[in-house]
Structure 1
Amino acid sequence: MTQKTILLVGHGSRIEEGNEELRSFTAQLAARKPELNIETCFIELASPSIAGGIERCVAGGAGVVYVVPIILFAAGHFKLDIPLAIDQAKRKYPEVEFVYGRPVGVQERAVDILLDRISEAVPLTLRDKPMTDTVAAEDTIVLVMGRGGSDPDANSDFYKLARLLWEHTAYKSVESCFIAIARPSLNEGLERCLALGARKIVVLPYLLFTGVLMKQFTERVAEFATAHPEVEVELGSYIGNHPLLADMLAERIEETLEGKSFANCDNCRYRDAAGLHHHHHHHHGEEGHGHDHGYGHNHQPHHADEHDPHHGHDHHHRHSHAHDHEHDESVPAAASGSPKEL
């Protein structure tokens, strides 16, 4: 019996360590499911591209390619970039069928990962108190930092996850912030924790793997801890190779194989219009394209339905098809507290 082919799509990073972490993660998934042929590709900043990944799948004899994104929330990459790459592949390989899966989304297991990362958090401030003088939960605030972007659905899903985390804890509060594009920024989130009277702040990055944003996050939190020695600050790690992430991706693979994915964008007029605009700025089909983008760009389509909740979607969610990146240029916008681009 011919093996079914899965194409796992990660984001890609300018820092090769992050790309290697993703490859290691997908290699473990492949070892967990030896009955499947699993390939890995990247949306940008690393090779192979989505087009290159699809080419490998077809060259390996795949008649059906099951495309599963390694993405936390349904933002621009999930709603626009990957579907556009699939559209191009359909034209290039008309004999091949493509089935598109869902991102990780909001799950209880994601909350469990965050709880583990809280327990593993590392103190950044030097203690001048006895070890028995620990800060109580009612004086502790957890600040969870998301990637942030122009898509309201993805940003609100992140807030939902933070609320679910708070429901599982006894902390004074669980607050949310973003490293890029969206507000509140990381700096604003930290200042809010102070304003709420936190004696201890546990800061967690809700990012998949290391990269530019993770390194900037670590530097900023360390600077904050140095500037506020009166507050205990602990730094958590990104998701990384957590076994529950593997469980969630394995589940997404299975539901894609079974045809239980729910975001079919094939007949989406909104995405078609967005694609026309998007095509002038990107060439994701090129291997190692290494393109550079302008400051704080949004790539939303310019048409009358842009903010109309009744624009003709038959999807289970109303989405804006915004285009979000791990670009360095967008980070200072949120860090300095500039208006959120929606």
Structure 2
Amino acid sequence: MSAHVTHSTQAPALLIIAHGSRDPRHAATVHALTRRVRALRPGLRVETAFLDFDTPTVDQAVASLYLSGVRDVVALPLLLTRAFHAKSDIPAVLAGATSHLPDLSVRIADVLGPSPLLLATLERRLWEAGLTPADRATTGVVLASAGSSDPEAIAVIAEIAREWRHTGWCAVRPAFASAVLPRTEDAVRALRAEGVRRIAVAPYVIAPGRLPDRITAGAEAAGADVIAAVLGPSPELARLLLRRYDAAAPTQARIPALAA
């Protein structure tokens, strides 16, 4: 506990860890979201890092924070589900980045989903794409996620679709851009075959990239009536990041690899 007491007068820095992508729109979206988080919480040190493709890497970001005097960090995975990256990649990368910094405390916040704030962002994007709340009862929605080989992550997406359906939509079906079926176009065609007249596709992804483009292409190929934008740097998403930060900041212990 003594390590936390020493720095209790200063809020832990927030390190947002994104996946990274060869698509420059990905990093641009992450940085826009980071700026929004900073604007919501003036005075909080907020930095970004990427697992792959983009810089700074987690190693670079942690070293930079440490050299500037930071000794308490909340690492927040910019992920919607607890799949492989959240369970394995990020803890391992953080353990490596901090192994030679014994007086640095790092807590890992929960992933972003599921959350009502994510559903609020999904609906914000649908309204921006032309729907209105009055359209719920006559519109079927395809909740299109990137996909995962992790059964837990897939189950979470299916559960979100079930819960969202209870808010008044005609139907809500999950779809996946990779790893598992159905694909976006399959889900759109299935809804059409069931007689749903208006079909909207809502990408459950944070930033543009290869898989979100695949979602859009599938939606267009199957004749979806409305295709929403990705979640992006929405105000609700920025608030959600701070909610996850606040939940992690006061209570969670150091990551196990550091204790070991």
- Judge same fold: TM > 0.5, yes or no: yes
Choose the corresponding residue for 1:241, options 219, 233, 253.
233
Aligned to 2:247: 255
Question: Is residue 199 of structure 2 the alignment partner of residue 209 of structure 1?
Answer: no
Question: Is residue 154 of structure 2 the alignment partner of residue 164 of structure 1?
Answer: no
Structure 1 residue 195, shift from structure 2 partner:
2.5
Aligned to 1:64: 72
Question: Is residue 124 of structure 2 the alignment partner of residue 116 of structure 1?
Answer: yes
What fraction of aligned residue pairs are identical, expressed as a percent? 23
- Identify, as 1 or 2, the structure richer in helix: 2
Matched letter for residue 251 of structure 1: R
State the secondary structure of the residue aligned to 1:85: helix
Structure 1 residue 179, shift from structure 2 partner:
0.5
Structure 1 173/53 Cα, relative in aligned 2: closer, same or farther at 3 Å? same
8 A contact 1:12–1:19 mirrored in 2: yes
Counterparts in 2 of 1:25-36, with a 5 A limit? 25-36=33-44
Higher Rg of the two aligned structures:
1
Q: CA RMSD in A?
A: 2.3
The whole-number CA distance in structure 1 between the counterparts of 2:153 and 2:111 is 11
Aligned to 1:84: 92
Aligned to 1:6: 14
The whole-number CA distance in structure 1 between the counterparts of 2:119 and 2:42 is 29
Structure 1 residue 144, shift from structure 2 partner:
0.9
Question: Is residue 252 of structure 2 the alignment partner of residue 266 of structure 1?
Answer: no
Structure 1 139/3 Cα, relative in aligned 2: closer, same or farther at 3 Å? closer
Counterparts in 2 of 1:305-320, with a 5 A limit? none
Aligned to 1:189: 187
Structure 1 3/248 Cα, relative in aligned 2: closer, same or farther at 3 Å? closer
The whole-number CA distance in structure 2 between the counterparts of 1:2 and 1:114 is 34
The whole-number CA distance in structure 1 between the counterparts of 2:101 and 2:115 is 35
Gaps of 5+ in 1: 124-134, 226-231, 268-342
The whole-number CA distance in structure 1 between the counterparts of 2:51 and 2:154 is 20
Structure 1 residue 143, shift from structure 2 partner:
0.8
8 A contact 2:175–2:184 mirrored in 1: yes
Give runs of ≥4 in structure 1 deviating > 4 Å: 135-139
The whole-number CA distance in structure 2 between the counterparts of 1:202 and 1:266 is 43
State the secondary structure of the residue aligned to 1:92: coil
The whole-number CA distance in structure 1 between the counterparts of 2:221 and 2:145 is 19
TM-score of the aligned structures, taking structure 2 as reference length = 0.87
Gaps of 5+ in 2: 1-8
Structure 1 residue 115, shift from structure 2 partner:
2.1
Q: Deviations over 1:23-78 (max 9, x none)?
A: 11112212322232211101112111111111111111111222111111111111
Q: Deviations over 1:53-106 (max 9, x none)?
A: 111111111112221111111111111111001111232212212111111121
Choose the corresponding residue for 2:107, options 70, 91, 99.
99
The whole-number CA distance in structure 2 between the counterparts of 1:121 and 1:24 is 21
Structure 1 residue 175, shift from structure 2 partner:
0.7
8 A contact 2:107–2:255 mirrored in 1: no
8 A contact 1:139–1:197 mirrored in 2: no
8 A contact 2:36–2:233 mirrored in 1: no
Q: Deviations over 1:164-214 (max 9, x none)?
A: 211111x32111100011222223212221222222111110110111222
State the secondary structure of the residue aligned to 1:106: coil
8 A contact 2:145–2:174 mirrored in 1: yes
Counterparts in 2 of 1:10-21, with a 5 A limit? 10-21=18-29
Structure 1 122/138 Cα, relative in aligned 2: closer, same or farther at 3 Å? closer
Q: Deviations over 1:216-253 (max 9, x none)?
A: 2222222222xxxxxx6111111112111111111111
Alignment size in residue pairs: 248
8 A contact 1:3–1:35 mirrored in 2: no
8 A contact 2:183–2:218 mirrored in 1: no
The whole-number CA distance in structure 1 between the counterparts of 2:36 and 2:120 is 20
Matched letter for residue 203 of structure 1: V
The whole-number CA distance in structure 1 between the counterparts of 2:246 and 2:135 is 42
